[in-house]
Amino acid sequence: MTDELTLDEAQKAITAGMRAARRIDQPMNIAVVDSGGHLIAHVRMDGAIKASIDISIRKARTSILMNLPTSALAEATQPGAELYGLELTSGGMVTFGGGIPVVRNGVTVGAVGVSAGSVDQDVTVAEAVAAKLAKAPS
């Protein structure tokens, strides 16, 4: 058994995310990256804003690079805070919710990024995708 995320797993998890997005009536961009931050799969649902394509990928990448949900960075990156300016590093990190690391068997194996709705909507869909990916393949 490997802890590497596969394309098949990423696609199934994205499908779960699309179902979650439809439940809240918000088309989304959904990205899945591997443990190195490299894109495995991405989808832009019909009607999702195009600007969020890049944002969803950056959320996933930020989450894997920092090994944190992107929402955990919001307060620390405000003007005058300890990590102010972080979003300008590493090719442009995203410091608001919608990026979540995927942990399987205690190992971070990748991350998810979702964008196109409100931050709360992005987080809701990202949680659905991450939960699907966190389950070891059978």
Q: Is the pLDDT of residue 64 over 70?
A: yes
Q: Is the pLDDT of residue 136 over 90?
A: no
Q: Which two tokens stand for residue 15?
A: 């499908």
Domains of the chain, with CATH numbers?
Answer: 7-134 (3.30.450.150)
CB 86 within 8 A of CB 73: yes
Q: Is the pLDDT of residue 108 over 80?
A: yes
- Name the pTM for this structure: 0.94
Mean pLDDT of 121-125: 99
Distance CA 70, CA 28 (A): 17
The secondary structure of the chain in percent helix, strand, coil, rounded to multiples of 5, reads 45, 20, 40
Check residue 49 and give its pLDDT. 98
Check residue 1 and give its pLDDT. 46
Q: Is the pLDDT of residue 50 over 70?
A: yes
pLDDT tier, 3 (very low <50, low <70, confident <90, very high otherwise): confident
User: What is the rounded average pLDDT for all residues in the chain?
Assistant: 95
Mean pLDDT of 114-121: 98
Check residue 138 and give its pLDDT. 62
**Cα 56 to chain center, whole Å?**
6
Query: Which residue in 98, 111, 99, 125 sits closest to 38, CA to CA?
Result: 111
